[in-house]
Structure 1
Amino acid sequence: MTATAVPKSPFTKLQAGTVQELRESPGQARAWHQWSAAEIDALTLAYAARRPLLVRGEPGTGKTQLARAAAEALGWRLHAETIHPRFEPPELLARFDAVRRLADAQAGASAELADPTRYWRPGALWKAFGWESAQPFLAADERSIDPAAPDGHVVLIDEIDKADSDLPNSLLEVLAQRSFRVEPLAQPIGGPNAKPPLIVITTNEERELPAAFLRRCIVLTQQPDPGMSYRDWLVRRGAAHFAELPATSPTASPRRAELIAAVILEKAAEQLVSDRQQVSHINLPPPGLAEYLDLLYALHELFPGQTGVQQEWLGRLSAYGYLKHGVVAGQTGVSQTRAPIDGLAGSPAERG
C-alpha cells in the first residue's frame, strides 16, 4: 500500500477536530478555535499558491477567527483591518495624519514638519510586506508590543463586502505584483525577494465581489460539517469553547475545566435549531452559531458552574438572543413575547 503523501506546508501538522487555544493579546480575549478539514486544506492551498484566502459564510461562523488561528498555528504576526463603508483603499498601505500636520504647520513647528514618521502610519499590508521599513513609522504603543522581527505575517482584511468595488479592485495589482509604493519611502515595499504574507479576507456577501478579484483568491465557504446534523455541529463548536480541554502542549496553559455542562450545550442548540427552522419558514434571517455562543457566554458569565440555574435562564433569555425580529404578527413562536421555553422559567413577575 502506498503511503499518503504529506504536502510541504506548515498546516499539515493540524488535525481536523482539534481545538487550538488562541492566547490573549492586546485587544483580543483568550479564545479557542476548532479546526475543520476544509479550513486546513484551504489554508494549505492558499499558502502554497501564495494567493489570498477569501472566506465566505454566514455571520458568526468563525471567518474572522480563522485568521487569528492561522497566525497562532504558524507563530506569525497578525495584522487585522476591519473594513467599513467609508474605508479608503490606500489605508491598507498607509495612513497620513493631515490634521496633525496642519496643527504643526499652524504652530510653526518646522522640526516636526520635516519628520515624516510623525504623520505616516503603516497599514496592514505595509507591515506585512515591509516589516523593517515600517518600524520607524509605528506608533509607540504598537512598537512596544514585541519589537522582535516575526517569522512571518498574516493579514486579515475583515468584511471586505462593506466597501465598494474600488477596494477589491485596488488590491489586484498588489496581489499580482506583491509590491507597492508608499509616499514617505523612496524604494518600493515587497518585491520578488520578500517573504509573502498569508492574506485572509472575509465577506458576509452583502455585496458581490468583482469576478477578477475572485479569480485571484482561494475561496473557502464556512459551513456546518456535512457529516453531522446542524444541532450536533453547534454542540461540537460549543464544546470547543466550554467543554473540558487538556493543555495543548507542555508549555500551554493548564487543562481547562468544564465551563458549561453538556446538557446546557445541547438544550441551547436544540432551541436554536427550532427557532432557526421557524424563522427560515417566514423568510427572515435565521440565528446561527454567533447567537448560540453569545447565549452560552452569557449563561457562564451570569451563573458560572450552576447548571440548574443556567438551564432555567436559558429558557428565559433565548428569545432575546435568538429572535432578533421582535414581535412578528401571527407568529407567536418566533416572537420575543413567547413563553419561556420548556416551562423552565416563569416570568419575572411570577417569580417575584
Structure 2
Amino acid sequence: MRIASVRSFLLDSDSFGHLQATLESRRLDVARVEELLDLTDAVLDDQLPLDQMPALIAQAFGVEEKVANEIAADVAGYRLYPLRDFIEGVPEHIVKWGKRVEDYPQKRVGKTRITPDRLAGELAEKHALEFSDVLVKRMGFLIKAYFDGSKTRESTLTFFSRPPSIGGLGASGEKSQEVLNDVDGMRSGIEIVEREEELQDEAPAVANVALPVEEPVAVMQVAEPDDEANLPEISPSHELAAEVPVISGNVVRASQETVPVPDADASKAARRVEVAAAPARGKLEDAVSMSIEAAAATLQTKRIPKKAFADIARAAIRGVRDLYQTRELFERDFGVADA
C-alpha cells in the first residue's frame, strides 16, 4: 500500500512495541517480531487472505490454535485495525479470534476529505499554475469530473489546454499531464466532498499522493505447488534451529484458497520458492547492528535509545523507507547532523 499516510502509520514504532509485548507475554522470541510485520505486509499487498493469519502463525511459531488466534487478533488490532477504511473485515476477524476491538487503539488512518476547489488550489500551487480564483474553481470542477469518471483523461486534458476564453484553463500539455498524474496517485487516499462542513482537519491532500513503487529487491521464480496443499513459503530462521519455520518476508499466495496442513507435513507441503539475491535475515540484522555500532558515539552523546535508532535503520534496510526519508527522520527526531 503506497499511500503516504498509511506508510507513515506502518513505520510508527508504537505498533512494533505492542507486537513485541504480544510475543513476550507468550514466552516467544521477541526478535521474531519482524515475521509478524512481514505477515501484515503480505495482507496489505493482497498476497495473503486475512483469515489465514492464525494458521500461518500456528505453523511458524508452533503454538496451539487458541494462542495463534490471540496473536492474530493482536496483529490485526495493532497493525490493521487503524487501516480499516482500506481493509475489509478486520473488526469482524478480531472478534472471531476471541478479542474485542475496544481493547486496541481506536486510531483511524482514513482517507483525506477535500473539496474540489481546495484540491485544485493545492495542485495549482504545487505545479506553479498562476490561476485566478475563477480558473481554480473551473479546475476543481474538471478534476472532480475526472476523479469520479464522468470525464475521460483525454477530454480533461483537452479542457486543461483550451484557452480560458472558451472554457479551458490555458495550461501547457506537460503541466496538465503532471496534474492528472497527481490526481491518479491520490485516488486511494482522498475523498472529494462538496461542502466545507464535511472536511476533516487534516494535512493537505497532496501529501496523500501515492508514493512511487519501489523496485523489488529480488526476482522470484515460483515452482508448481504440491498436490497435497498450497502454503505460503516457510523458511528457516538464522537465530533458531533449522527445523523451526518462520514467516518469510516474501509471503506468496499459492492460490485463492490456501489450505493449512499439520506441522509434520509442512516441509513437504510448503511451496518451493527460489529467491535470486534475496538478503538473508541474518545479514539484515548484521546490517542493523553495524549501523548502530557506527553511530555509537552519537547515540551515547545524544542519549538516543538504541531501539529507536534500530527501528529506523531496520525499516530502511528492509526497503520500507528510502534513504532520503531515513535521513530526514534521523535529523528531525535525533538532531543527527551527519545522518
TM-score clears 0.5: no
- Greater helix proportion: 2
